[in-house]
Structure 1
Amino acid sequence: MNMKLKYWLVALFFLFLIKGHAATVDTLTINSKSMLKGIKAVVILPEKYDKKNQYPVLYLLHGFGGRYDNWVNNVPAVKKLVDNYQYIVVCPDGGFDSWYWDVKGDQNYQYDTFVSQELITHIDANYSTKKDRSGRAITGLSMGGHGAMTLALNHQDIYGAAGSTSGGLDIRPFPMNWNIKSRIGTYTAHPVEWENKSVINQVHLLEPNKLDLIIDCGKEDFFYKVNVAIHDKLDYNNIPHTFITRSGAHNWDYWSKSIIYQMAFFNEFFIKKDTFVKN
């Protein structure tokens, strides 16, 4: 079956047939030693969460100007999807404009370290999780799509699957937008930094089938062209991935639907890796 059609069918199924459940939502404050501050995170547990079992975890990132509770508040269906798929979803706060980078010399912006080290350590210590890359995936929207792909490509020992919805996967066409220049300097003064931090320029880090990847973007989105470009580059480099486009802009109407087939994709990854372990 065509991959796009497959995930559209899954999306339509859940749009109309999701049953009401009672996922547990925990709100945590996690101490970040790298930034010397507490950072909030939402943890969504399946209704039938049982500490006797080990659960896969999807780390779900917010976009520019967002916060840790955006996903659970703006897309309540995420909780229903957690119940249906029986894996944990964790939504950390990534700051207003961090782009999920460690910014050299700025203690307030060490979000790579926080998400990929401190957060995961805390979640694995306090919840019953599958504690290796076969049980971890990461995705996000916009700035969070950039962050998820960046973290996954640079920490392939930690994550086994990654995604992006409406992601800023090439920052170079947007030198004056979203406070990027405040984090890494201007494009004019620091072109190498901009080149290196654009996800599209990190494709060389991938080996075929090392990471399971899903990328989607609406055709009316200002990031559409850069998403098509990274899809083409992944194809050129023979990196298997799922790429989905449909009508849609850079907004919650699009993301509330995209998360349905994103979570279906990661469920397939977890099942394939047999990550739901009963003791």
Structure 2
Amino acid sequence: MNFEIMNTTKRIYLLLTVCLALIGIKGNAATVDTALTHSAAMNKDIKAVVIIPDGYTKSKKFPVLYLLHGFSGNYSDWIKKVPTIGKLADEYQMIIVCPDGAFAGWYYDSPVSNEWKYETYVGTELVSWVDKHYSTINDRAGRAITGLSMGGHGAMYLAIKHQDTFGAAGSMSGVLDIRPFAESFGIAQVLGKYSDKPAIWDQNTDVNLISLLKPNALSITFDCGYDDFTYKVNLAFHDKLLAQKIPHDFTVRAGSHTWEYWGNSINYQALFFSRFFNKQQ
């Protein structure tokens, strides 16, 4: 047996293995930063995760997807629970920003307490901070926002109210009508009790904001698991969009209010937003 040929073959095999490994690393080379931002509205510093795609350069402008967490969560939820979102940033060449919306901030500017100004923070202050510190498409054509549960509510709420800032919106298992959950999830501490302030709740529930939309003004996608406790409010949101002739994508899948569901859902939504961004170019 020719040992020289065998050794050469082994060296070639080792070289190919190393190359393939490097290619694999290169394919998931997104950089994950924890940024310290500031909210003047709440007079405090707030952390956010910023995921920068492989190939990022200041000479190119990148679209940004704002990805919101749910009730009792924080800015680090998405990258901890679904670390593969880094691959989505790479694949679709987008920056992904995961803001902090507090344990139960609901992405509102509270009418009852200055402690909660998360509409201003996420919808205005954070967007300005990201555009200042990264090479972004500084326009609604390059911004999308989505989230899960409380964050699904927040994403739709912020996008509808700030259509000059966001061009596309999504929701995963979103609480798209807060009123059936008046006694849950800390909403009352932000808006006041529903029994005391029903008009405020009516004015700040997503389903009642649909009247602010015009056909094709906002690119919309949302989904929900059939066994999710938010399924009925998602279906009602879909029906009202249909009645108002607002184009949108609505998907019902098997599943419930779980990270397994959201980890799957974000793949479809990232594709939706990538197509939106590409159409704007």
TM-score normalised over the length of structure 1: 0.91
| 1:117 maps onto 2:128 in alignment | no
Alignment partner of 2:180: what SS? coil
CA–CA distance in 2 between the matches of 1:212 and 1:181?
Answer: 30
Q: Deviations over 1:214-269 (max 9, x none)?
A: 01000000000000010011011100000001110001000000000010000000
Structure 1 letter corresponding to 2:63: P
| 1:95 maps onto 2:102 in alignment | yes
The residue aligned with 1:42 is: 49
Q: CA deviation at 1:105?
A: 4.9
RCO higher in 1 or 2 (8 Å CA, sep ≥ 6)? Answer: 1
Moved over 3 A (4+): none
CA–CA distance in 1 between the matches of 2:242 and 2:143?
Answer: 24
The residue aligned with 2:60 is: 53
The residue aligned with 2:87 is: 80
CA–CA distance in 2 between the matches of 1:30 and 1:105?
Answer: 24
Question: RMSD in angstroms over aligned alpha carbons?
Answer: 1.3
Structure 2 letter corresponding to 1:234: L
CA–CA distance in 2 between the matches of 1:106 and 1:191?
Answer: 17
Alignment partner of 2:156: what SS? helix
Structure 2 letter corresponding to 1:223: T
CA–CA distance in 2 between the matches of 1:142 and 1:105?
Answer: 23
The residue aligned with 1:261 is: 268
Moved more, 127-136 or 184-193: 184-193
The residue aligned with 1:218 is: 225
Q: Residues 62-77 of structure 1 correspond to what in structure 2 (within 5 A)?
A: 62-77=69-84
Count of residues in correspondence between the two structures? 258
The residue aligned with 1:151 is: 158
Q: CA deviation at 1:108?
A: 1.6
Structure 1 letter corresponding to 2:233: V
Alignment partner of 1:54: what SS? coil
Q: Deviations over 1:75-124 (max 9, x none)?
A: 01100011000010000111000100001352221000001111011100
The residue aligned with 2:188 is: 181
Q: CA deviation at 1:20?
A: 4.2
CA–CA distance in 1 between the matches of 2:272 and 2:38?
Answer: 31
Q: Residues 10-29 of structure 1 correspond to what in structure 2 (within 5 A)?
A: 20-29=27-36
CA–CA distance in 2 between the matches of 1:243 and 1:31?
Answer: 35
Q: Residues 1-12 of structure 1 correspond to what in structure 2 (within 5 A)?
A: none
Alignment partner of 1:216: what SS? strand
CA–CA distance in 2 between the matches of 1:188 and 1:108?
Answer: 22
Percent same amino acid at aligned positions?
53
Q: Residues 231-242 of structure 1 correspond to what in structure 2 (within 5 A)?
A: 231-242=238-249
CA–CA distance in 1 between the matches of 2:217 and 2:27?
Answer: 36
Alignment partner of 2:131: what SS? helix
Q: CA deviation at 1:196?
A: 1.0
Structure 2 letter corresponding to 1:221: D
CA–CA distance in 2 between the matches of 1:215 and 1:233?
Answer: 14
| 1:272 maps onto 2:273 in alignment | no
CA–CA distance in 1 between the matches of 2:77 and 2:55?
Answer: 24
Structure 2 letter corresponding to 1:212: S
Alignment partner of 1:173: what SS? helix
Structure 1 letter corresponding to 2:218: L
CA–CA distance in 1 between the matches of 2:52 and 2:235?
Answer: 34
CA–CA distance in 1 between the matches of 2:218 and 2:166?
Answer: 8
